[in-house]
Amino acid sequence: MAEFEFFKVIQGYLDQAAKACDLPKHVALILSQPKNEIIVHFPVRMDNGEVRLFKGYRIQHNNMLGPFKGGIRYHENVTLDDTKALAAMMTWKCALMDIPFGGGKGGVKFNPRELSSGELMRVTRRFTHALGANIGPEYDIPAPDVGTNGQIMAWMMDTYMNTVGHVEKNAQKRVVTGKSIAVGGSNGREKATAQGLIHCVTEWAREKSFPLEGKTAIIQGFGNVGGHTGLLLSKLGVSTIAVGDHSGYLYNPEGFNPHKLMDHVKRTGAIAGYEGGQPVTREEFFAVKADLFAPCALENQVGVDEAKMLQVRLVAEGANGPTTPDGENILLQRGIDILPDVLANAGGVTVSYYEWIQNKRSETWELEEVDARLETAMKRAYHRTRNFAREHGTSMRVAAYGLALQKLSANYKERDIFP
By CB under 6 A, how many residues form the interface with ligand NAD? 23
Judged by beta carbon, residue 21 or residue 105, the one nearer ligand NAD is: 105
Q: Which residues contact 121 (CB under 8 A, 6 or more apart)?
A: 155
Give, in order, the Cα–Cα distances in Å from 28 to each of 15, 32, 382. Answer: 8, 6, 24
Tell me: does residue 225 bind ligand NAD (CB under 6 A).
Answer: yes
State the catalytic residue, choosing from 69, 84, 93, 105: 105
Q: Which residues contact 331 (CB under 8 A, 6 or more apart)?
A: 302, 307, 310, 315, 323, 338
Q: Which amino acid appears at position 110 of this protein?
A: F
Binding track over 203-222 against ligand NAD, x by CB under 6 A: -----------------xxx
Binding track over 2-31 against ligand NAD, x by CB under 6 A: ------------------------------
Give, in order, the Cα–Cα distances in Å from 353 to each of 36, 105, 349. Answer: 22, 15, 6
Tell me: does residue 146 bind ligand NAD (CB under 6 A).
Answer: yes
The answer to whether 179 is a known catalytic residue is no
Tell me: does residue 112 bind ligand NAD (CB under 6 A).
Answer: no
Tell me: does residue 277 bind ligand NAD (CB under 6 A).
Answer: no
- In the complex, the smallest distance separating the C-beta of residue 163 from ligand NAD, rounded to whole angstroms, is 25
Taken in order 90, 79, 242, 268, is the CA torsion positive or negative?
negative
Tell me: does residue 145 bind ligand NAD (CB under 6 A).
Answer: yes
Tell me: does residue 345 bind ligand NAD (CB under 6 A).
Answer: yes
User: Beta 239-245 vs 248-251: how paired, if at all?
Assistant: antiparallel
Binding track over 358-397 against ligand NAD, x by CB under 6 A: ----------------------------------------
Cis amide prior to 24 (ω within 30 degrees): no
Q: Report 314-343 residues binding ligand NAD (CB under 6 A).
A: 318-320
Tell me: does residue 67 bind ligand NAD (CB under 6 A).
Answer: no
Taken in order 215, 218, 223, 224, is the CA torsion positive or negative?
negative
Q: Which amino acid appears at position 381 of this protein?
A: A
- Catalytically active residues, by annotation: 105
- Residue numbers at the binding site for ligand NAD (CB under 6 A): 144-147, 193, 220-226, 244-246, 296-298, 318-320, 345, 348
